[in-house]
Structure 1
Amino acid sequence: MEPIIHSKGEETPEDHGEGKNRRRMKASSNRLVSELRDILKTVVIAFVIMLLLNMFVFNLSMVKGQSMMPTLEGYERLFVDKLVYNLGHPKRGDVVVLKDPSIGTDKKSFLVKRVVGVPGDTVEVRKHTLFVNGKLQDEPYTDVKIEGDDVPAVKLGEKEYYVMGDNRHAGRSKDSRFFGSVQEEDIVGRADFVFWPISKIRGL
């Protein structure tokens, strides 16, 4: 029997099958690369959006220490609205996150406190109780009198706020009794609610 000789460019059945497999694998690889590219693009866009929201709209913060007990406990997570004070100003009773005024500007440290005095107010701690504009304040969010020394009357200027922790036990809260009034520009945002742990989700 004479050998079968294939002309140049003619494929054997085996060659034809291998070519199909190669094309199929290449198409599959291209789809995988395209899908990975789409996923990566989605992740990058989501990251950028979250970064912008975190910078300008909201922040997620964790409570450290006991200065806001009984309102807040250590390691609870807070949702902080950063946009609200672009549209208005802090009010008495707001729980706010602010830059720690007692450290240098080159360090980043934040405190959670309650606003007890706003611009124009006169704040005073007399006989272990809080007076604002000469009126005794009803503070249902704290469970003790203000321990420690009384504080002479302080008149707040424009964009100045007086903040205190809800834990009024002596030495439990580093606040305006320690570092004085704070500037509005140092208030990062308003803490609106606790979102973690789930069992303690609540508004503030």
Structure 2
Amino acid sequence: MEPVFPSSKKSDTKQQAGSGGSQRGWRAELWDVIRTVGIAFIVLLLLQIYVFNLSVVKGQSMEPTLEESERLFVNKLIYDFKGPSPGEVVVLKDPSLGPDKKEYLVKRIVAVPADTVEVRGHQLFVNNTAVNEPYTDIQIEDADFGPVTLNADEYFVMGDNRHAGRSKDSRYFGNVKKKEIIGRAEFVFWPLTKIRGL
């Protein structure tokens, strides 16, 4: 009597099914990764439009506080709940350019609505009181300016670099409307060796 060997058809079928299943599993995993990355990208895009922005410092107008090419984290939501305060560093649309051009500046708020601003004898005065400015390393070298009184919803901005002609600010392009202010610069996040709050 000849020995009877079990048929290999079932095991072959299982192997083929297993191979097909692994193919489907690989595709499903790839789709999950693509979907996750896509959702993360959309969320990040929405956050950047409405909540925060990442900005690069250009020029020397904010030295010594900020140096060229440093990266800033900008809070875009804060001014939906409050107005800018004196001393805050903000990012704003350049008011000297047309509405179609999207150039941005980094400046410091030095006066708010109803304040009177004046530069006299190389010193900044707000409401006829000399302002203590520990963020600068030199007196204002430019010519005297003002006095100018701010209307409702107007802000006066200046760069921290007070060397002559180094900062294009409200002395050049006038008072800034709140709607022109993009947000408050919260901290420097790059380079890593210079991470700090503002």
- Taking structure 2 as the reference length, the TM-score comes to 0.93
Give the C-alpha shift of residue 95 in structure 1: 0.3
- Counterpart of 2:174 (choices 180, 190, 202) is 180
- Counterpart of 2:157 (choices 157, 163, 179) is 163
Q: Which residue matches 1:64?
A: 58
Counterpart check, 1:189 vs 2:183: yes
Q: Which residue matches 2:26?
A: 32
Instruction: State the alpha-carbon separation in 1 of the partners of residues 27 and 52 from structure 2.
Output: 35
What SS does structure 2 have at the residue aligned with 1:139? coil
Q: Which amino acid aligns with 1:141?
A: Y
What SS does structure 2 have at the residue aligned with 1:69? coil
Deviations 1:136-194 (A, max 9, x none): 11111001111122112111001100000000111111110110111000101000111
- Counterpart of 1:48 (choices 28, 42, 55) is 42
Instruction: State the alpha-carbon separation in 2 of the partners of residues 153 and 125 from structure 1.
Output: 7
Q: Which residue matches 1:8?
A: none
Q: Which residue matches 1:147?
A: 141
Q: Which amino acid aligns with 1:48?
A: I
Q: Which amino acid aligns with 1:178?
A: Y
Deviations 1:78-110 (A, max 9, x none): 111111111111000000000111111111111
Instruction: State the alpha-carbon separation in 1 of the partners of residues 119 and 149 from structure 2.
Output: 13
Instruction: State the alpha-carbon separation in 2 of the partners of residues 13 and 196 from structure 1.
Output: 67
- Taking structure 1 as the reference length, the TM-score comes to 0.90
Q: Which amino acid aligns with 2:42?
A: V
Deviations 1:26-84 (A, max 9, x none): 11110011111111111111111111111111111111111000000111111111111
Q: Which amino acid aligns with 1:82?
A: K
Instruction: State the alpha-carbon separation in 1 of the partners of residues 60 and 172 from structure 2.
Output: 16
| Range 85-94 or range 140-149, more displaced | 140-149
Q: Which amino acid aligns with 2:61?
A: S
| Residue ranges of structure 1 left out of the alignment (5+ in a row) | 1-11
Flag the 1:128–1:21 CA change in 2: closer, same or farther, 3 A.
same
Counterpart check, 1:119 vs 2:113: yes
Q: Which residue matches 1:87?
A: 81
Counterpart check, 1:108 vs 2:102: yes
What SS does structure 2 have at the residue aligned with 1:178? helix
- Aligned residue pairs, count: 193
Instruction: State the alpha-carbon separation in 1 of the partners of residues 154 and 141 from structure 2.
Output: 24
RMSD, matched Cα: 1.5
Give identity over the alignment, percent: 58
Q: Which amino acid aligns with 2:17?
A: R
Give the C-alpha shift of residue 18 in structure 1: 4.9
Q: Which amino acid aligns with 1:89?
A: G
Moved over 4 A (4+): 12-18
